[in-house]
Amino acid sequence: MLTTGNGTNLVGAPSGGPPLGQKALANVSALAADPLDQQVVNGVIAAKIRATGNLNGAASNIMLLRQLGWRSTTALQNLLWLAGTTGDLSLVMDTMDALLRREKLLGQIYPVLNLMTTDPAFRNLLIQRLATRPPWRRYYFMSASDLSKPDQIEGRYLVMRAIQRRGDRLTRNEVAPILAKLTGVGRTAQAFDLWRAQAGTVATPLADTNFAIASLPIATDALPVPFEWQLASGSGYFADANHDDRGSFVSIDWNGRGAPLFVSQLTSGRAGRYQLDVTGDTPMSMIADRIGFRLACPGGKMTQLDPANPRATGHMQLVSVGRVTCDFPKLELYGLTQTGSSSASVVLRTIRLDRIG
């Protein structure tokens, strides 16, 4: 591997000095034996450049490989080196596309793509390429685990929104991985815009108030989306969504121990005061005694929602104790601390959230 002054690398030349003696003879012999072997030709070119230090020669020789239409991994790596050295963004995109189609060096290319989406010119080239639906598109969108820097997360968001604005709908699993990244860096509004464009009509500030979507069968490989109901299960408790002849519902079964989180949803609400309306099959007095309701903000700040009419039948209204201080608070349903044996089975039919001030 040949390293130039600016830190870029040329692949195919042996380290430890120029290829002399037996090494040079081996290169020439291999080329003579098979002059169309892409790996050998690339190695001879790289070795010659190491021996002479002629980087201008590198450019012409590597471009020759491109003109021949050769697509060996090392030849493409050196083409990428040339594109990076000369600042040819179109060549960078073409070469990365070729490597991704070969499913080579994915662990190295995805981080480079993430970095380059921060550049508007390259981002536009990437958007144009993704619009042609290359075979690696789905895996690129789903590979968000290596995204950590806010500007790169923003770059991915801009790419995906541009694709959506072209009328090209993304799949759930293509959108889901970036949502957690956006919310993690405080860009929940962008995450919601991305999800709403994918999902279509989304009720605000709380989606799926009658659990109709939550009760639908879902693919086993479907990734979670924070703007949908999250149903938790653990030791001594189980939350699930289903439907019967009366409609859809959420059920919570709990042994009364601890204070587990049963159900949650990241809302699209803004800062302010809120009212929550709950209906269900379980007596409201039992729900008020067993289940707590709160709106959670980043940083751990919680605003409780206290029952205004806990003894009502079939319907309960709750009001926030004070003002929610953040946009996009998360609604959480959790177990209230019990004394003694207080197991419970709760059935909720609807939950509606309204901003009242």
The Cα 17–Cα 51 span in angstroms is: 8
* β partners of residue 293: 305, 333
Percent of the chain with pLDDT over 70: 77
pLDDT at residue number 62: 58
Task: Give me the pLDDT at residue 342, please.
Answer: 81
CA–CA separation, 170 vs 94, rounded Å?
Answer: 23
pLDDT score of 84? 72
Q: Would the pLDDT of 8 be above 60?
A: no
The pLDDT of residue 111: 87
Average pLDDT, the chain: 84
Structure tokens, 313: 């039948």
In the three-class reduction of DSSP (H, G, I as helix; E, B as strand; rest coil), residue 111 is classed as helix
pLDDT of residue 104: 73
Cross-strand pairs, 355: 274
Decide if pLDDT at 120 tops 60. yes
Averaged pLDDT for residues 118-137: 95
**Rounded to whole angstroms, how far apart are CA atoms 229 and 332?**
10
308 or 55, which is more confident: 308
Q: What is the pLDDT of residue 44?
A: 58
Mean pLDDT of 156-182: 96
Q: Average pLDDT in the 152-157 region?
A: 97
Per-residue pLDDT tens over the stretch 179-203:
999 999 999 999 999 999 999 888 9
Fold exhibited by the domain 230-355: Jelly Rolls (2.60.120)
Interval 49-69 mean pLDDT: 59
| Spatial strand order in the sheet of 261-266 | 230-231, 261-266, 330-335, 291-296, 302-307, 315-320, 274-280, 344-355, 247-254, 237-244, 233-234
Q: Which tens digit of pLDDT belongs to each residue from 16-42?
A: 444 433 444 444 444 344 444 545 555
Among 85-89, 117-121, 140-144, 310-314, whose mean pLDDT is lowest?
310-314
| Length reported for the chain | 357
- Extents of the domains making up the chain: 2-199, 230-355
Radius of gyration of the chain (CA): 29
> Which one has a higher pLDDT value, 76 or 345?
345
Whether residue 235 has pLDDT greater than 50: yes
* CA–CA distances in Å: residue 128 to residues 170, 228, 330: 15, 31, 36
Structure tokens at 146: 């290596």
Least confident of 1-5, 88-92, 107-111, 156-160: 1-5
**Structure confidence at residue 43 as a pLDDT band (50, 70, 90):** low
**d(Cα 272, Cα 355) in Å, to the nearest integer?**
7
Q: What is the pTM of this model?
A: 0.80
